[in-house]
Amino acid sequence: MHSLIALVGPTAVGKSAIAVELAEQLGAEIVSCDSMQVYKHMTVLSQAPSKGQRTRVPHHFVESVEPSESYSAGQYAKFAPHAIRQILARGKKVIITGGTGLYLKALTEGLCDTPPADITVRDRLWDECQGVGAVRLHNRLRAIDESAASKIHPNDARRIIRALEVYAITGKPISAWWKETVAEFSEGQVLVIGVNRDRETLYTRINNRLLHMIYEEGVINEVRDMLHLPLSKTARQVHGLADLEHYLAGRVSLKETITIWQSRVRHYARRQLIWFRQTPHLHWVDLPEIEPPWETAANIVELIRRQSPSQHVAASL
């Protein structure tokens, strides 16, 4: 049976509860791959695993970084593999779970070690993009790097500009840098399982969760306290912070805040699903509207058994 399992999916699908049940059934520890749950002082806002869940199963990279600090996929890629190998050395399995696809990609596909940003070049490209549009820049990228252009949407201005910037700085297509990327764990070592629900059910869960956060979990008070802390740019990206900050400043009503926030999170869930659908060798599990997490976990255990690798692959971990 695989020793390293990734459980991913959109926000509010129920990953945290399923992961805990799965970890107990497999004798595993949980390694979070969530870019916001890594921060302290935003337990409700980031919907970090509860204290009860963390008592039942050890969690790593949850509420471990001060919000004043920046945290990136590169830092995660530096520290998470060491933690994973320590868990495996204790004879435990590992469940990587969370909604940040880039963090999982950092482990399973590696991160591209491209040169740092050149602000002068980047600003020039952004100015040009404002004038002629992303599609025109995408055509230019296609002329110099067909491979990269085929993987980047013509409207994805940020990635197009980054690819052109790297070429301008180094004279080397970004696709060539991609080929030099080395993953921490080879293909076959990580079994990636995605959990999802039908769209209407998922959106209802998102809407209800935000209402529960506001009226039952005290997220407004949590944000009020957070705003007295020094917050890094990355910590400020947590969903709901800006919306609740505007509410606390009296700029919008609570009703308007809820509507806007719910819409943002639904849109974020759609983006997550688009990302994960591009993840190689991902096994999807469609969840029924009503199914207890322990039952879902039991079904996933059967899936894991059916996908068990050969002994030499398991031993290589």
Q: How many domains does the chain have?
A: 2
Average pLDDT, the chain: 92
- Do 160 and 306 belong together in one domain? no
- Do 283 and 236 belong together in one domain? yes
- Which residue range(s) make up the domain with 43? 4-110+197-316
In a domain, 71, yes or no: yes
Residues 102-145: pLDDT tens digits? Answer: 899 888 887 777 788 888 999 999 999 999 999 999 999 999 99
In a domain, 265, yes or no: yes
- Residue 41, domain CATH: 3.40.50.300
- Residue 131, domain CATH: 1.10.20.140
- Do 50 and 159 belong together in one domain? no
- Using pLDDT thresholds of 50, 70 and 90, give the confidence band for residue 188: confident
- Do 18 and 133 belong together in one domain? no
- Do 19 and 42 belong together in one domain? yes
- Do 73 and 209 belong together in one domain? yes
In a domain, 188, yes or no: no
Highest mean pLDDT among 174-183, 214-223, 272-281: 214-223
- Using pLDDT thresholds of 50, 70 and 90, give the confidence band for residue 310: low
From 179, 205, 224, the end of a domain falls on 179
Residues 138-167: pLDDT tens digits? Answer: 999 999 999 999 988 898 888 899 899 999
DSSP string, the chain: --SEEEEE--TTSSHHHHHHHHHHHHTEEEEE--TTTTBTT-HHHHTPPPHHHHHHS-EESSS-B-TTS---HHHHHHHHHHHHHHHHHTT-EEEEEES-HHHHHHHHT----PPPP-HHHHHHHHHHHHHH-HHHHHHHHHHH-HHHHHHS-TT-HHHHHHHHHHHHHHSS-HHHHHHT---SS-TTTEEEEEEE--HHHHHHHHHHHHHHHHHTS-HHHHHHHHTTS---TTGGGSTTHHHHHHHHTTSS-HHHHHHHHHHHHHHHHHHHHHHHHTSTTEEEEEPPSS--HHHHHHHHHHHHHHTPPPHHHHHH-
In a domain, 298, yes or no: yes
pTM of the model: 0.81
